[in-house]
Amino acid sequence: MKRNLFLCLTLSILMSVSSVFSQGFNSIHTPDGVYVIAAGNAGKIYRSSNSGSTWSGYTVATDNFRSVFSLNNDVWIAANNGNVYKTSKASSPVTAANIGSTITINSVYFVNSNLGFICGEAGNIYKSVNGGTNWTLSNTGVSSTDLNAISFKDENNGVAVGKSGSIYMTANGGSSWVLTSGVTPNDLLDVKYFSDGIIATGTYGTILRKENSGSFTTVVTRTDSDIRGVTGSGLNSARVCGGGGFIRNNLNNRSNFFNFEVNPMMANLVDIVYYNETTGFAVSSLNNVIIKTTNGGQSWDLPTGASIAFNWVQKTPSGSGIGNNLCMHPKNRNSAFVVYGNKVYVSRDRSETWTQIATISTGTRAHSFYVSPVDTNIWVAAMEGSPDMVTRSTNYGATWTSIIAYDFSTYGQPLEMDQNNPSTFYFAPSNSSGLGVFRSTDNGATFTLTAPYNNSNINQPCDLIVMWDSSNVLYMGDDGADIYKSTNYGVSWTNVKPTSSSEVPSMCNSVFDQSICYATTWSSSQVYKTTTYGDSWNITSNNSGSGWGSDLCREDPTLVLTGNYGTQAYLTTNGGVNFFNVNTGLSGAGAGIMVPERGYMLNMQTGSLYKLNIVYSVLTGVNENTISNTAPSDFELFQNYPNPFNPVTNIKFAMPVSGNVSLKVYDQLGKEVSVLADGFRSAGTYEVNFDASTMSSGLYFYKLVTGVNSITKKMMLVK
């Protein structure tokens, strides 16, 4: 019986923070939902002919491929050096046409098989009327600003967007363009012209919306992550992607794109395409995993054979950590703070490196720490002492003043800032003195008792949290593992989750959905969740560890990370349906957790700070490199190298004339076991990487066949 084994090349790509996107892809498109093509830097192309189930990888040029567009049988790829490449949806030659310039082209769009447009740096817009063979400048009315994306509704109506919020529109097929300015100062990165209007996306959470007869309006997205891709079938059925891997849509009248599509990507998503209402694809520039949905975004899947590995990497800050002393810089999304003991550290590069910048002179060890969004010179911290206290600095940590002094829980986070009104702070000391929650409305300068705890069962408050958009609503996690709710700014409290263990050390909620909140429990393994605005709580997970810190991703509520009183951490990417352990590399215990983005997670262990690295591995059908486009003198199949091999080897072949070619691997019985190349190739020299990790040791044959030539050679696999 003939057996076809898909040749597997395993590519491991380490996610790292970088402003240069180069490891993965820049763009993806499909003309029919079956044939799919993704393009990246250094001439990288991945193709699928089975709706993204399996992929073949090719290197066809040295240019950086920045945008891909497909229509019917044709595929166009925009690149640097003024090159526009064309191929077909099936495996076929990739040919370049130069526009007569060396500019970087950022976007390509074709209205039909003949009429197409490109845009790029310095305000360049070009037009083709013969399928991309020739291009003419068509940018009358456009300034020299860089343009990032272009889209057309029909042959006449188009839009191009770019740097500093530039929006140019044409109603005459690109003969002239009119600037729309002043809508946003942020760079616009992508745009889609639907039949009923336009959606543009950009940096710092920018989404702009325009109905055909209206003007551009700003969508309140409640994120500062870059939104890089937009797709869909209309203004009210659109999807966007970006940040550390979120996908959002505006279906069912969710105009703010507050529907989040569950997906496994924890790396920046830079492009997304939906072929219809059910089938979509998305890519990251940081890895080679292409994710896919077949159910309209209810869930997204990795391709066949792909996997994810997690590893915590220790960073510089260390000492005696307790509570949650992680804090993002309110004005700079790349900067963060952490306090270990009484030492304040800052990172300016997304937590890769840290520097101590201050010492808190009052108290010995921090339990909570905040940098005020109102004035970043103002820092407020809860510190251990004799007694414990809330302390404050007004000069970026140079000097400190004790504001209020009462003992609080040994392990708790007794200080909370109202994120809706950041001049307001709450302080919850222990109930041993019969006090209650204190409130500050002047940025922590003074605190006033809201009301005594009186005869309530509140014992040792461990965490406080304020509901988004409802400053009067607070939750309190208690040392008795109860959760209390207040609807009057902490004046009175109602027990909404009775005791189940010893402590509720941490809670986290979301700006995107007031109804949800998570709570960890110590010393039990239970994670609780409410979907009823805190009125009722149910177990959403029974992890094997003992819960401590937690955070709900600041850009996507489907991702939650919890710490553990030990060397575990638990992650969910599907809204708490299931959690899985991500503990490789950890030591100590996870007191503080912060998740600014899906691909940016911090764990303040008791002894040192850790950041999560994620490695994606993906299997592709073949990885083929074009060694030379110059026609060789002879038809030739070279000996594989190394040989013998285990398990990877390289096979090179040369074609003096263009034509169909087949390169296959056979076992000693003559059975075909792998297909390395099968289709049209231009004259040139090619090299294929062959990974035989799924095969047994032994002698194999590889055979190259064209219309009139056939060559067979031997190779030895030794494991």
Q: What is the DSSP annotation of 99-134?
A: -SS-PPEEEEEESSSS-EEEEEGGG-EEEESSTTSS
d(C-alpha 489, C-alpha 512), whole Å: 21
Q: What burial letters (b/e) apply to 142-177, b meaning 16+ CB within 10 Å?
A: beebbbbbbbbbeeebbbbbbbebbbbbbeebbeeb
**How many domains does the chain fold into?**
2
Report the CATH number that the domain containing residue 325 is assigned in CATH: 2.120.10.30
pLDDT band at residue 499 using 50, 70 and 90 as cut-offs: confident
What percent helix, strand, coil does the chain show, rounded to 5? 0, 50, 50
The residues near 499 (Cβ < 8 Å, ≥ 6 apart) are: 480, 481, 482
* Domain membership flag for residue 699: yes
* pLDDT greater than 90 at residue 368: yes
- pLDDT, one tens digit per residue, over 171-198 is 999 999 999 999 999 999 999 999 999 9
* pLDDT greater than 60 at residue 12: no
* Domain membership flag for residue 508: no
* pLDDT greater than 80 at residue 456: no
* pLDDT greater than 60 at residue 663: yes
First-residue to last-residue Cα distance in the chain: 25
Strand partners, 46: 38, 57
The residues near 281 (Cβ < 8 Å, ≥ 6 apart) are: 28, 30, 36, 38, 52, 272, 273, 290, 291, 292, 293
CB 238 within 8 A of CB 224: no
The better pLDDT of the pair 357, 659 is held by 357
What H or E segment, with its residue span, contains residue 662? strand 659-666
Q: What integer pLDDT is reported at residue 16 of this predicted model?
A: 29
pLDDT band at residue 648 using 50, 70 and 90 as cut-offs: confident
Looking from the CA of 234 toward its CB, the CA atoms found within 13 Å total 8
CB 193 within 8 A of CB 152: yes
Q: What integer pLDDT is reported at residue 455 of this predicted model?
A: 63
d(C-alpha 459, C-alpha 480), whole Å: 7
State how far the alpha carbon of 223 is from the alpha carbons of 93, 149, 373, 484, 694, in Å. 42, 22, 15, 29, 44
d(C-alpha 256, C-alpha 219), whole Å: 6
* pLDDT greater than 90 at residue 577: yes
d(C-alpha 305, C-alpha 324), whole Å: 38
Kindly state the DSSP code that residue 631 receives in the 8-state scheme.
P
* pLDDT greater than 90 at residue 466: yes
Q: Of 405, 430, 460, which residue is a domain's last?
A: 405
Mean of the pLDDT values across residues 424-436?
88
The amino acid occupying position 154 is D
Mean of the pLDDT values across residues 443-460?
89
* Domain membership flag for residue 442: no
pLDDT band at residue 673 using 50, 70 and 90 as cut-offs: confident
CB 198 within 8 A of CB 159: yes
d(C-alpha 398, C-alpha 346), whole Å: 14
- pLDDT, one tens digit per residue, over 98-132 is 999 999 999 999 999 999 999 999 999 999 999 99
* Domain membership flag for residue 366: yes
The better pLDDT of the pair 327, 617 is held by 327
Q: What integer pLDDT is reported at residue 138 of this predicted model?
A: 98
CB 160 within 8 A of CB 149: yes
Mean of the pLDDT values across residues 472-501?
92
Q: What integer pLDDT is reported at residue 2 of this predicted model?
A: 28
CB 315 within 8 A of CB 351: yes
* pLDDT greater than 50 at residue 566: yes
* Domain membership flag for residue 397: yes
- pLDDT, one tens digit per residue, over 380-419 is 999 999 999 999 999 999 999 999 999 999 988 999 999 9
* pLDDT greater than 60 at residue 15: no
Q: Of 405, 436, 467, which residue is a domain's last?
A: 405
- pLDDT, one tens digit per residue, over 191-217 is 999 999 999 999 999 999 999 999 999
CB 25 within 8 A of CB 39: yes
- pLDDT, one tens digit per residue, over 520-565 is 999 888 999 999 999 999 999 998 789 999 999 999 999 999 999 9
- pLDDT, one tens digit per residue, over 602-622 is 999 999 999 999 999 875 655
d(C-alpha 678, C-alpha 658), whole Å: 13
Mean pLDDT of the chain: 92
Other Cβ atoms less than 10 A from the Cβ of 313: the count is 12
Phi, psi of 304 (to 5 degrees): -55, 130
CB 365 within 8 A of CB 591: no
* Domain membership flag for residue 378: yes
d(C-alpha 225, C-alpha 255), whole Å: 18
Q: What integer pLDDT is reported at residue 307 of this predicted model?
A: 87
Structural domain that includes position 680: 627-717
Question: How far does Cα 150 stand from its chain's mean position?
Answer: 23
pLDDT band at residue 49 using 50, 70 and 90 as cut-offs: confident
State how far the alpha carbon of 635 is from the alpha carbons of 60, 661, 678, in Å. 20, 11, 16
pLDDT band at residue 692 using 50, 70 and 90 as cut-offs: confident
Q: Of 360, 386, 405, which residue is a domain's last?
A: 405
* Domain membership flag for residue 157: no
Number of H helices, E strands in the chain: 0, 64
Kindly state the DSSP code that residue 420 receives in the 8-state scheme.
T
Other Cβ atoms less than 10 A from the Cβ of 73: the count is 14
Report the CATH number that the domain containing residue 647 is assigned in CATH: 2.60.40.1930
* Domain membership flag for residue 381: yes
